[in-house]
Amino acid sequence: MDDAEPTGIEVDGRAIAVRHRPGRSPGLVWLGGYRSDMKGTKAQALDAWAREHGIACTRHDYSGHGESGGAFVEGTISRWLAESLAVFRRFTDGKQILVGSSMGAWIALRMAQELHKAGEGARVGGLLLLAPAPDFTSELVEPKLTEAQREALESQGYFEKPSEYSPEPYIYTRALIEDGRANRVLEGIIDTHCPVHILQGMADPDVPYAHAMRLVEHLPVDDVTLSLIRDGDHRLSRPQDISLMLRVVASLVERAL
């Protein structure tokens, strides 16, 4: 339970907080979004469902997030990907369903690619992508930069943007944006080698549903499902959204058996 202290794992000198619930496989691996943590509504609902069904569930906070160490402004997709792979390899066994929210969906896609390259692709039994934001730095942030933001990136290495979800502003660094280009996935076919289900709100102000539809074009034609939620926002944390998420998780677990 979240009241318990998380387990720690060190990745490249950074203390990464992990909450792992033992259970049967296929297990669930939660991958949170930019500036979110493993105590969010969806992450806790996923863990509670796993507990109820005796299924393994693993959550962690990227460096600079939640209970993990490290500075947020030093974070990049490559860094958070490396941490996620380390947690996956240290805490999970057998097949896993990767559940990625927003930026976490990008991390999940990159994990599937890297695990496949390493000969471990069979361990990914399915992907559930919630309001997926792959390549968001180059596709959603860079095109909208103002002249002042571009100057801030050049002169101080970052710029701030007000957040609708926190009193603290979003911080985007030059390192994050440059590293994002090296981790692009929307450039060719993304071979996940497993079923993929995407849940996307059509009223999402942060990631337009056209972005999810574009992602589908880069996935193999079979085993990909896109569910559009007409009144869904970016959080997808309403009771009906959580219920849908868990129904899809149950379906992916069943398919991976």
What are the tens digits of pLDDT across the range 19-62? Answer: 999 999 999 999 999 999 999 999 999 999 999 999 999 999 99
What are the tens digits of pLDDT across the range 145-183? Answer: 999 999 999 999 999 988 887 788 889 999 999 999 999
Quick one: pLDDT at residue 164? 80
What are the tens digits of pLDDT across the range 220-236? Answer: 878 999 999 999 999 99
Quick one: pLDDT at residue 7? 94
Q: Is the dihedral of CA 121, 124, 129, 133 positive or negative?
A: negative
Tokens 């909208």 belong to residue = 144
Quick one: pLDDT at residue 82? 98
CATH topology of domain 7-132+191-256: Rossmann fold (3.40.50)
Does the pLDDT of residue 4 top 90, yes or no? Answer: no
**Vertex 249 angle, CA 190 and 35, to 5°:** 70
Query: Burial code of 57-74, b = ≥16 C-beta within 10 A, e = fewer?
Result: bbbbbbbbbbbbebebee
Quick one: pLDDT at residue 3? 61
Tokens 């947020």 belong to residue = 72
Ranges of each domain in the chain: 7-132+191-256
